[in-house]
């Protein structure tokens, strides 16, 4: 939960990546299993967070990362007996219910925007927590979800680049030029919401096309392919070529 609370906006630091957070938190937990207790999170500071991660300089949006960890620690203490495990158990094996609990209790997970006068709910980090639990526990125990396929892909920076390279997303010349020039796109702007929402739809269409391509009915019945699995594959493909891939869109956001 801590990892997914601060899993956003790496690009202002050319060297910081997701694995730096994951490895840093794992090392910190192996050194002190209480370092991420609700009480510790509630009083987390930027300096202490950097120490836990072993990161030598201020993190991008560091004050936001510590604020969100303070929020997680406080609400876990107040509503869930100080244990993230209680939060997961309260979902009773339903990923959608866990997403609802996260967004109800932790404002930092409320990844939503207004587009064309309508609310759009993307919930990237709330959903990725469900996916991480499902993957880490092999679909059992804390990772057992009866509805894992109901989650969408996790709309971020890296996957849209891969989808565009595959021809599944098409950008206007103006948007392509803006991204190529590494100019920032405002959070909540039409461009930003469109990129992320279109990514969700593109992955769903890809999933449906894969099923359509399976001709044997029995094989279709046996095939399980959740959007989270496609997301992992697409994200991994993007990570593998990130040094040479076209630039991703740049938005300062706490949500991805």
DSSP character string of 101-170: HHHHH-GGG--EEEETTEEEE--HHHHHHHHHHHHHTTTSGGG--TTGGGS-----SHHHHHHHHTTS--
- As given in the structure block, the two tokens for residue 10 are 């790496």
Residue linked to tokens 């849209």: 160
**Cβ distance 110 to 103 under 8 Å?**
yes
What are the backbone dihedrals phi and psi of residue 250, each rounded to the nearest 5 degrees, phi first? -115, 115
> Is residue 156 flagged as an active site residue?
yes
Residue closest to 108 by CA, chosen among 254, 2, 3: 254
Among 4, 111, 156, 231, the one annotated catalytic: 156
What are the backbone dihedrals phi and psi of residue 121, each rounded to the nearest 5 degrees, phi first? -110, 110
Relative to beta strand 118-121, strand 112-115 is antiparallel
Task: Give CA–CA dist 210/82, Å, rounded.
Answer: 43
Residue 32 is inside which H or E element, if any?
Answer: none
Strands (E), the chain: 112-115, 118-121
**Cβ distance 158 to 248 under 8 Å?**
yes
How far from 44 is each of 47, 129, 131, CA to CA, in Å? 8, 21, 26
Active-site amino acid positions: 156
């Amino acid at each position: 939960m801590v990892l997914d609370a601060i899993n956003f906006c790496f690009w202002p630091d050319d060297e910081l990546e997701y694995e730096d957070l994951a490895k840093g938190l794992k090392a910190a937990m192996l050194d002190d299993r209480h370092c991420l207790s609700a009480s510790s999170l509630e009083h987390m500071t930027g300096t202490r967070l950097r120490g836990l991660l072993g990161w030598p300089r201020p993190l991008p949006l560091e004050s936001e990362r510590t604020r969100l960890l303070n929020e997680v620690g406080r609400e876990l203490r107040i509503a869930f007996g100080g244990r993230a495990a209680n939060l997961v158990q309260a979902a009773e094996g339903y990923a959608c219910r866990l997403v609802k609990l996260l967004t109800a209790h932790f404002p930092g997970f409320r990844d939503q925007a207004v587009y064309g006068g309508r609310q759009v709910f993307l919930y990237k980090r709330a959903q990725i927590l469900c996916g991480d639990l499902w993957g880490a526990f092999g679909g059992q125990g804390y990772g057992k979800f009866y509805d894992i396929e109901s989650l969408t892909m996790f709309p971020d920076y890296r996957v849209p680049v891969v989808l565009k390279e595959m021809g599944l997303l098409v950008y206007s010349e103006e948007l392509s030029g803006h991204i190529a020039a590494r100019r920032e796109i405002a959070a909540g702007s039409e461009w930003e919401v469109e990129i992320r929402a279109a990514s969700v739809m593109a992955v769903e269409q890809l999933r449906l096309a894969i099923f359509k391509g399976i001709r044997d009915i029995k094989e279709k019945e046996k095939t399980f392919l959740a959007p989270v699995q496609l997301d992992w594959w697409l994200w991994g493909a993007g990570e593998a070529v990130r040094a040479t891939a076209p630039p991703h869109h740049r938005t300062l956001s706490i949500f991805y």
